[in-house]
Amino acid sequence: MTFKIGKYQFKIAPLLMKAIYDKIKIRRKNIITGVTDKIVITGEVWFKNGDKETRHFRNHFVLQGLVGGFINLYVVGGILTSPTKDWVTSPFTNDTMTLGTNTATPTTASMTSLVTPIGSGIGTAPNSQAGATGSTSTSAWVLLTATWNAGTITGTVGEVGLWLYTQPTLLSFGGTETPVSRTFTSRLSVADGDFTAQAINVTYAFTANWQLTASYA
């Protein structure tokens, strides 16, 4: 096949042209059917503190979050656990969210906790947690909400951590995924350029919403 750009002519070998055509045809078929060869998992996090609400569109999965939350499920085919150990029915003990003040340390794959949590241990527990799920023809999402009552926490938020009930180490086939409580899964931070440090107004409750969406790319 020959095509022309200005005064120049170019030839494309028949096999190369066929490969390009096949690639376009496959991609077109995938778009039509709603299925592609890539899946994108995005995070959307937003805060509400009194009348102030800020929305952000990034999160950073750490390695143990990817291993426990995704890969191990395909290796062992499921999780051996009680159905009551989830975000809503067993808050903080197994699944939770915590806040921190660090604004200088970017997220790395090897992180297992926030850098400077607000409160002791992994951070001050939310007073309540709620959740919701939903789906469309090409995506599915889960919304995780954590609320700290007025006066429960003080300081300036510079990082947020998501903790889920998973097994953070890579398993072998034939094994069983027996989760350990509160595996650090993902982080949002000022140092990563995700949001601007936000001072907590202790007069009002502080709510953090973390939505994870899996969709075809």
CA 140/CA 142 separation, integer angstroms: 7
pLDDT for the residue numbered 151:
95
CA 75/CA 61 separation, integer angstroms: 19
For 24, the enclosing helix (H) or strand (E) is helix 14-33
| The pLDDT of residue 25 is above 60 | no
Out of 18-32, 105-119, 194-208, least confident range: 18-32
pLDDT for the residue numbered 65:
82
**Tens of pLDDT along 69-94?**
777 766 666 555 555 667 887 778 88
Computed over every residue of the chain, the mean pLDDT equals 80
Q: Higher model confidence: residue 201 or residue 43?
A: 201
Mean pLDDT within 42-63: 85
| Contact present, 59 and 43 (Cβ < 8 Å) | yes
Burial class of residue 33, CB neighbours in 10 A (0-12, 13-18, 19+)? exposed
Mean pLDDT within 155-166: 92
